[in-house]
Structure 1
Amino acid sequence: MKNPSPGVKDIITPTEAIDYFVLSRRKFYDLLKLDKQKDFLVFYKERKMIIRTAFAKYLEANPDLRRRC
C-alpha cells in the first residue's frame, strides 16, 4: 500500500512540508526554532508536525519562506 501524498493529508512532517510547498530548508527550520506560538504547529510527543491547511494560509501572508528558483 502506498503512503498518501502530503496534498491529501491534514497533518504533515516538516520534511514533507518543505517538499510539498517548495520551501527553503534553512528558513523553514529557523522558523520552527523561534519561540513564538504558531497556529500551524502541533506536537505529537516530541515530534513537530505541521497542519497543512493552516500552514498554507501562513505562506500566503509570508511568501519569503519559498525557495528561489
Structure 2
Amino acid sequence: MKNPSPGVKNIITPTEAIDYFVLSRRKFYDLLKSDEQKNFLVFYKERKMIIRTAFARYLEAHPDLRRQC
C-alpha cells in the first residue's frame, strides 16, 4: 500500500512540511526551536508534528519562511 501524500494528510512531520511547502530548512527549524507560541504545532510523545491547514494559514502571514529559488 502506498503512503498518502502530505497534501491529503491532516498532520505531517517537519520534513514533510519542508518538502510540501518548499521551505527553507534552516529558517523552519529555527522557528520550531523558538519560544514563540505556535498554533500549528502538536506533540506526539516527544515528536513535533505539524497541523497542515493551520500551518498553511501561518505561511500566508509569514511568507519569508519559503525557500528563495
User: Shared fold by TM > 0.5?
Assistant: yes
1:1-69 equivalences under 5 Å are 1-69=1-69
**TM-score by structure 1 length?**
0.99
Partner AA of 1:39 in structure 2: N
Question: Which deviates further from its counterpart, 34-43 or 18-27?
Answer: 34-43
Identity fraction in percent: 90
> How far, CA to CA, are the matches of 1:37 and 1:45 in structure 2?
19
Over residues 10-34 of structure 1, what are the superposed CA-to-partner deviations in whole Å (9 max), with x where a residue is unaligned? 0000000000000000000000000
**TM-score by structure 2 length?**
0.99
RMSD of aligned residue pairs (Cα, Å):
0.4
Q: How many residues align?
A: 69
Runs of 4+ in 1 over 3 A off after TM superposition: none
> How far, CA to CA, are the matches of 1:11 and 1:36 in structure 2?
20
SS at match of 1:2: coil
SS at match of 1:37: coil
